[in-house]
Amino acid sequence: MKALVTGGAGFIGSHTVDRLLEEGYEIRVLDNLDPKVHPKGKPGYIAEEVEFVEGDVRNKEDIRRALRGVDIIVHQAAYQDYLPDYSTFVHTNAVSTALIYEVIREEGLSVEKVVVASSQAVYGEGQYRCREHGLVQPPARPQEQLDRGDWEVRCPACGRYMEPLPLKEEYANPYNPYALSKYSQELVAVRLGRLLGVPTVALRYSITQGPRQSLYNQYSGICRIFTLKLLHDKPPIIYEDGKQRRDYVHIDDVVEANMLVLRSEEANYQVFNVGSGRPTTVLEYAELLAGKLGKDIEPLIPGEYRLGDARHSVSDISKLRQLGWSPKKGLEDIFDDYLTWVESFGDIGKYFEEADRTMWERRVIRRASALCEA
Ligand SMILES: NC(=O)c1ccc[n+]([C@@H]2O[C@H](COP(=O)([O-])OP(=O)(O)OC[C@H]3O[C@@H](n4cnc5c(N)ncnc54)[C@H](O)[C@@H]3O)[C@@H](O)[C@H]2O)c1
């Protein structure tokens, strides 16, 4: 069996490649070695036996070249950022997916399965229960509310605070460019898959963590940023009040979810959450990580917020559990595995400041003025 993994030089893609190799698959990777993710070129962890095609998922001829002779496709390549180049999100994440099916049809390829990497981001501000109005999928919190430092989500109809619910697959409410492109990607994949009879599954990963997360990518998030700050004896900066709930899933559990849906016919043409199913506040996360690193450093909570961030995002994972998958690893494992990997680097100092500075420059991070003045 031959598998194509797009984005196979990246974090989730490369771990999936390793797991597929263990299962005896021949592997082709299509990856453009995006310099924001791989400023030092092709990563050393890519196994020698992998056929590496350097190319772009937005380019039809690169897709054609990469699809030749493959039985399964795991589409991981993506544009993930907080920057306002909207069309890049759509081209890289959704158009690439349409190109895969276009080429499958044109070339009459017999592909047994396509798995696409979607994201918990498609839930937007999420799903809430209002005492008065029942289930609500609220819009993004208004900027005036965030500027007041009023962080919890209010019912758009009555203004009451609402109770956050575990995110269920049947509802999606994307509103930032990345989420919009990921939701489009899912729809394109599952529906074109059905149209062509190519079994397809979309997985909405929660925040995935572990070794090989790019140290350079501005998007790659909390573990990288907090770890690097703490390693330099600086306090991590927490947005909002730190009580926002998140869902951190270990890379090994995500890879096992990929493997399960590759094998499972029952999964075909469906969308599944892949998460830990456990809420962790950002503050708890920072405290646990500082403890792991042996640093007695309190995080800073200056009242900054990031436009477009959801307040609470914890996925309901019962649908994938019903197929026999369950997360096996927790935050402790995430920190242990990530830190072992980070400690193997010698030159990480300058990168985290650069990432923060770029986001400030592009006005993606704002400060809640009420708290600033206080
Ligand atoms: N990491 C997470 O927490 C997370 C959460 C939800 C969803 N996802 C999704 O999972 C997938 C993998 O994410 P990741 O964290 O491994 O990201 P990553 O940045 O580590 O890897 C992505 C890879 O895609 C490649 N790539 C980017 N643009 C490309 C293009 N135009 N053509 C070819 N290759 C290109 C990059 O070079 C990189 O190797 C993505 O689709 C992402 O949207 C990730």
| DSSP H helices in 78-170 | 86-89, 96-107, 143-147
What pLDDT score does 275 carry? 98
List the residue whose alpha carbon is closest to atom 30 of ligand 1. Answer: 56
Share of the chain above pLDDT 90, in %: 80
Report CA 142 to chain centroid distance, whole Å.
Answer: 24
Kindly state if the Cβ of 25 falls inside 6 Å of ligand 1.
Answer: no
- The number of C-alpha atoms within 13 Å of 348 and in the hemisphere containing its C-beta is 21
Q: Which pLDDT band, with edges at 50, 70 and 90, does 331 fall under? A: very high
- In DSSP terms, 300 is beta-bridged to 237
Q: How far apart are CA 359 and CA 367, in angstroms?
A: 13
- Using alpha carbons, select from 295, 308, 322 the residue that is nearest to residue 365: 308
> Is the predicted pLDDT of residue 352 greater than 70, yes or no?
no
> Is the predicted pLDDT of residue 355 greater than 70, yes or no?
no
Kindly state if the Cβ of 33 falls inside 6 Å of ligand 1.
Answer: yes
Residue from 19, 33, 34 whose mutation best tests the ligand 1 pocket (most atoms within 8 A of CB): 34
Kindly state if the Cβ of 57 falls inside 6 Å of ligand 1.
Answer: yes
Q: 237 C-alpha vs ligand 1 centroid, how far in Å?
A: 25
List the residue whose alpha carbon is closest to atom 1 of ligand 1. Answer: 208
pLDDT tens for each residue of 247-262: 999 999 999 999 999 9
pLDDT tens for each residue of 237-250: 999 999 999 999 99
Q: How far apart are CA 46 and CA 9, in angstroms?
A: 7
CB 179 within 8 A of CB 173: no
Kindly state if the Cβ of 304 falls inside 6 Å of ligand 1.
Answer: no
Q: Counting atoms of ligand 1 from 1, which one is nearest the CA of 91?
A: 31
Residue listed under structure tokens 């993710």: 37
What pLDDT score does 372 carry? 33
Kindly state if the Cβ of 8 falls inside 6 Å of ligand 1.
Answer: no
Q: Taking the CB of residue 87, how many other CB atoms lie within 10 A of it?
A: 11
Kindly state if the Cβ of 13 falls inside 6 Å of ligand 1.
Answer: yes
Q: How far apart are CA 153 and CA 149, in angstroms?
A: 12
Three-class SS state of 158: coil
Report CA 268 to chain centroid distance, whole Å.
Answer: 21
Strands of the sheet with 134-136, listed across from one edge: 134-136, 128-130, 163-164
What six digits make up the tokens of 365?
Answer: 């991070």
Q: Higher-confidence residue: 343 or 368? A: 343
pLDDT tens for each residue of 49-61: 999 999 999 999 9
DSSP code at position 7: T
What pLDDT score does 373 carry? 33
Q: How far apart are CA 232 and CA 224, in angstroms?
A: 12
What pLDDT score does 125 carry? 95
What pLDDT score does 39 carry? 81
Architecture of domain 2-373: 3-Layer(aba) Sandwich (3.40)
What six digits make up the tokens of 44?
Answer: 């050393």
Q: Per mean pLDDT, which range of 116-130, 140-154, 210-224 is the poorest?
A: 210-224
What pLDDT score does 250 carry? 98
In sequence order, what E strands does 46-105 have?
51-54, 72-75
- Using alpha carbons, select from 144, 140, 143 the residue that is nearest to residue 153: 140
What pLDDT score does 344 carry? 82
> Is the predicted pLDDT of residue 369 greater than 50, yes or no?
no
Three-class SS state of 154: strand
What pLDDT score does 35 carry? 86
What pLDDT score does 356 carry? 59
Kindly state if the Cβ of 236 falls inside 6 Å of ligand 1.
Answer: no
Q: Taking the CB of residue 325, how many other CB atoms lie within 10 A of it?
A: 20
Kindly state if the Cβ of 214 falls inside 6 Å of ligand 1.
Answer: yes
Q: 210 C-alpha vs ligand 1 centroid, how far in Å?
A: 14
Q: Per mean pLDDT, which range of 219-228, 297-306, 345-354 is the poorest?
A: 345-354
> Is the predicted pLDDT of residue 285 greater than 50, yes or no?
yes
Q: Per mean pLDDT, which range of 104-113, 140-149, 216-225, 242-251 is the poorest?
A: 216-225
User: What phi, psi does 136 have (nearest 5°)?
Assistant: -130, 135
DSSP string, 215-257: SS-TTS-HHHHHHHHHHTT-PPBPSTTS--EE-EEEHHHHHHH
Provide the residue ranges of all domains of the chain, joining segments of one domain with +: 2-373
pLDDT tens for each residue of 63-117: 999 999 999 999 999 999 777 899 999 999 999 999 999 999 999 999 999 999 9
Strands of the sheet with 270-274, listed across from one edge: 51-54, 26-31, 2-6, 72-75, 113-119, 200-205, 270-274
Kindly state if the Cβ of 32 falls inside 6 Å of ligand 1.
Answer: yes
Kindly state if the Cβ of 227 falls inside 6 Å of ligand 1.
Answer: no
CB 219 within 8 A of CB 39: no
Residue from 32, 85, 209, 223 whose mutation best tests the ligand 1 pocket (most atoms within 8 A of CB): 32
Largest CA-CA distance found in the chain, in angstroms, rounded:
65
Residue listed under structure tokens 């403890």: 291
Q: Which value, to the nearest 10 degrees, does the dihedral of the CA atoms of residues 188, 194, 197, 199 take? A: 80
Share of the chain above pLDDT 70, in %: 91
Q: Per mean pLDDT, which range of 35-44, 119-128, 137-146 is the poorest?
A: 35-44
- Using alpha carbons, select from 269, 129, 86 the residue that is nearest to residue 190: 269
Kindly state if the Cβ of 219 falls inside 6 Å of ligand 1.
Answer: no
